[in-house]
Structure 1
Amino acid sequence: MSLKIRRLSPQEFALNAGPLVDIYISAMGYDPAIRDGRIFSWRREVIRPGFTALIAEDASGVVGLAYGFVGTPDSWWDRQLRLALRKKGELSAEETEVLRSYFEVAEIHVLPRMQGQGLGRQLLNELLWNAPGKWALLSTPEVPDESNRAFGLYRSMGFTDLVRHHRYPGDDRPFAILKLPLPLS
């Protein structure tokens, strides 16, 4: 099977947001009723500083995606991040540095039938290669003993804990927020 990783322009990403959100819904097990709201949100994110989007394609079409951008205090996720860190207590010097210069891995998803084949690693490596910022941040649902492919991937790449058990509005699951120093080694 021949896989190809390809960068999308912001315009291509916006035009293809529907099928990309479908991959997200499938990979995360979300209710398809959120589809229109997610498409609207993803299309708005193409104007974020440093916006970068990738897709993975095979003969059947798009099988994975990753996108991110520079973290800025005007974003919903940055506000959630700051709230989560404040709940932990006073910010450490490292946490303060993270907030000053990070690349947010907004989404990385692979169709369930394609998971476990290294595609997520390829997407993440390509997305973070030369990413602006001193840190890469992402969040992932908590699972017992970190026993899923996502945690396995993130840990194997060197991501460490920034915040654990954060609850985002609109999602009942707790999430881990993980950090990785940049540039990639």
Structure 2
Amino acid sequence: MRLPGHGHGHRPRPDDIVIGPLDLSTHVDEALAVQALAFGLGPDEVAVRRQIVLRHMTYLGARALGATTAAGRLIGFVYGMPNDRTHWWSTVVEPYLRALGHEAWLDDSFVITELHVHPAYQNKGIGRALITAITDTATQPRSILSAIDVDSPARGLYRSLGYEDLARQVVFPSAPRPYAVMGAPLPLRRR
């Protein structure tokens, strides 16, 4: 999938962005460099997340998409997998969802594990293109994710795609801020 540059007319420009499959295990350091900029991570956090990403990519059904410039620079990525109640994330959010009657969302859903776009490329539709492209290939009838529980551009994007809050003020061990768990039926809403 190609996202056109923002120039005049419809001619491709060198800064055109291409969305396509990403071998995240091979490109983990490039992806985490994007995440570090987008999410404000330090070197210690990146090192921990590197191991998590590499482990996640061994899970059944895990897949990733990248957004690259015409020059091949990775400027955004998304990855996810079918939810498994035995995975750490699911065990943390389950009590919050159960308390609100939303526990069933953990079954037969596709989890968006990470979605990040380089700050210089945000607000250009890249995040929307990444998340819709990956969920369009999901066989599950719904998608779930977690996002920092504040009004943010990310939360606005998720709401515009049909995600609704399932639980708020979800506390992950070692996370400095609470998260919201959001869910949406698939396919995601289009503009």
TM-score (norm 2): 0.85
Aligned ranges 1:88-103 → 2 under 5 Å: 89=99, 92=101, 95-103=102-110
Give aligned pairs, total.
Answer: 174
Aligned to 1:123: 130
Compute the displacement of 1:52 (Å): 1.5
Could you list the runs of 5+ residues in structure 1 that have no partner in the other structure?
Answer: none
Q: Tell me, what secondary structure is at the counterpart of 1:47?
A: coil
Q: Which has the higher contact order (CA 8 A, sep 6+)?
A: 1
Residue by residue, what CA displacement relative to the aligned partner does 1:96-151 show, whole Å, maximum 9, x if unpaired?
431221111000000011111111000011011031322101111122xx2x2101
1:18 to 29, 42, 47: 29
* Residues in 2 aligned to 1:154 and 1:184: alpha-carbon distance in whole angstroms: 9
Q: Which runs of 4+ in 1 moved over 6 A?
A: none
1:139 aligned residue: 146
Distance of 1:140 and 1:63 partners within structure 2: 20
CA contact (8 A) 2:94 2:103 kept: no
User: Which has the higher mean CA deviation after the structures are superposed, 44-53 or 71-80?
Assistant: 44-53
Give structure 2 stretches of 5+ with no counterpart.
1-14
Is 1:81 the counterpart of 2:93 in the alignment?
A: yes
> Counterparts of 1:180 and 1:68 in 2: how far apart (Å)?
14
2:43 counterpart letter in structure 1: P
Structure with the bigger percentage of helix: 1
TM-score, length of structure 1 as denominator length = 0.88
- The one-letter amino acid paired with 2:117 is V
In 1, the alpha carbon distance for the partners of 2:161 and 2:76 equals 18
> C-alpha displacement at 1:184, in angstroms?
3.2
Would you say the 8 A contact 2:171–2:179 is kept in 1?
yes
Residues 1:184 and 2:191 are matched in the alignment: no
Within the alignment, does 1:68 sit opposite 2:62 as a pair? Answer: no
Name the counterpart of 1:157. Answer: 161
Task: State the identity as a percent.
Answer: 30
Which of the residues 44, 48, 73 maps onto 2:59?
48
Secondary structure in 2 matching 1:37: helix
Q: Which amino acid aligns with 1:127?
A: I
| CA distance in 2 between partners of 1:70 and 1:184 (Å) | 16
